[in-house]
A and B are shown apart, each in its own frame.
Chain A
Amino acid sequence: MSEAAAPALRIRDLHKSFGRLEVLRGIDLDVAEHEVICLIGASGSGKSTLLRCIDLLEPVNGGSIVVHGTEVTAPGVDANRVRRGIGIVFQAFNLFPHMSVIDNVTLAPRKVLGTPRRQALGEALELLERFGLADKRDEFPDRLSGGQQQRVAIVRALATRPRLMLLDEVTSALDPELVAEVLGVIRELAAGGMTMLIATHEMGFARDIADRVCFLDAGVLLEQGPPEQIFSAPRERRTQQFLQRIIDAGRL
């Protein structure tokens, strides 16, 4: 594990339970600036919960999360301020259905950052342009394809200029032919140096894009390493089993 001077993210002994169910059982993870990490693991292994905890969408039960040098799990931290610096994209897009694309994207810059309307509009258009969505600016989410909706959701998350992006199985709700356009966007973000934590079931994509792959199993970060090692020579028996199931399902 690379121990950079000021990691983008540092997680220590993170615990999270829902009632009596312990979903995260002591996670330690460091993410360096500009690093792309893929989280893999079976459904229910804690990938989504981990991402939601980092964005403070779930209260944690123990341990600490430090984002860009600030301990966000400390008491009295302004959660709204923390979330501004982190972008999260959800499996189900979660666009605001009563707002046009451009309003979805400019809401946070205008209301949270206080960016003047005209400037927010300009910046949003620039982002939409960059991801091939400029002609959709006045459409409502329900009129877009799943792939377009997810790209808008990514643009919306980028609009507050986060330094860390969390992607929670962003292609799982998409028809297969729409997956590529969303993965393309993520690749572009990676190429631009965005620090990202990506929970995914797309193993081929993970192998391509990740600097490091982390395997979560029952709330424990069981194994991590460069994609070549994890995918071709996993050390842990659970990792081997998981990957074997993926191969059997024809998904690697």
Chain B
Amino acid sequence: MTDAPSSAGDRRSRILGGGGGAGRNVAVALVSTAVVFTALGLLVVNSSGWEEVRQKFLNGEEFRTWFPDVLSAFWLDVKIFCVAEVVILAFALGIAVLRSLPGPVFFPIRALAIVYTDIFRGVPTILVVYILGFGVPGLQLSGVSTDPVIWGTVALVLVYSAYVAEVYRAGIESVHPSQEAAARSLGLSRWQALRFVILPQAVRRVVPPLLNDFIGLQKDTALVALIGPVEAFRQADIGANADFNYTPYFCAAVLFVAVTVPLARFTDWLIARDRRRQQGGRAA
């Protein structure tokens, strides 16, 4: 094995114009960050309306009063997006695979998959939530749930599956045809080649955009509030209206950020680990 002496990380920082060693780069980054944010902070704090804005949006007392309520309501958001994400991962993959089927025989299936993604990416999410949340219970079908949480979740699944299916499809198409040729040449069936060779590579490549869609989904769980259920945003709304103060919204914002940021870092770590494994020391 002939390993290059320098790691890819070193190379990248040199290309991006950082001179000197890693320690110095970190120091420069820290200092410039501190300067920029101090300047921004001073600008905001010294503005004429700051005291009033602080009272309305960042009121400590209001925060303490409403945070527990918003937090407990936030569990509903967590439940909704956890269930939705699992369903979307599987459902969207199915759509993407159907859309990738070759040959004229499968044209109707491909067409259906295309119509599905076109419609659900085209219609505003809020409308899908309204239509399913009010429309389906309105049909008064026996045996069909009228729970707005369920129909709100279904709406999110339908909309986000359309996006995620396109992400998957991009991943599938990014795998070079020679990989399928190699798999088929070994006697693997089309399905086996997809299952063992193409999809594993495709999914690895689309993890970052997939996560991007999931962050969007997590925020959009707030839309379910519009058909009734009291989740974090709705609870914050109630608090804000009760006290004529916007701080409860800030509670909700903190909670949404608190789940998306760790998820983003976890994904970064996952990608880095995968790259390390496949390429050894070179791109660690």
Contacts and interface: CB of A to CB of B under 8 A. Distances in A.
Q: Which of A86, A87, A112 has most chain B Cβ within 10 Å?
A: A112
A83 B185 contact: yes
Contacts of B47: none
Contact of A90 (B178, B201, B204, B280): B178
The B contact surface, by secondary structure, is helix
A96 B197 CA distance: 7
Interface string B255-284: 000000000000000000000011110100
Contacts of B278: 97-98, 140, 142-143
Interface residues of B, number: 24
A140 B187 contact: no
B186 A97 contact: no
Contacts, number: 77
A158 to B, nearest CB: 11
A92 B178 contact: yes
B186 A156 contact: yes
A79 B178 CA distance: 17
Contacts of B201: 96-98
Contact of B196 (A94, A107, A139, A140): A107
Interface string A138-180: 0110111100000000001101100000000000000000000
A90 B188 contact: no
A112 B187 contact: yes
B182 A90 contact: yes
B138 to A, nearest CB: 48
Interface in A50-93: 52, 55, 57, 79-81, 83-84, 86-88, 90, 92
Given A111-B196, A140-B277, A143-B279, A88 B178 contact: no
A57 B187 CA distance: 11
9 contacts: A79-B184, A94-B182, A96-B179, A98-B201, A107-B188, A112-B186, A142-B280, A143-B282, A157-B185
B181 to A, nearest CB: 5
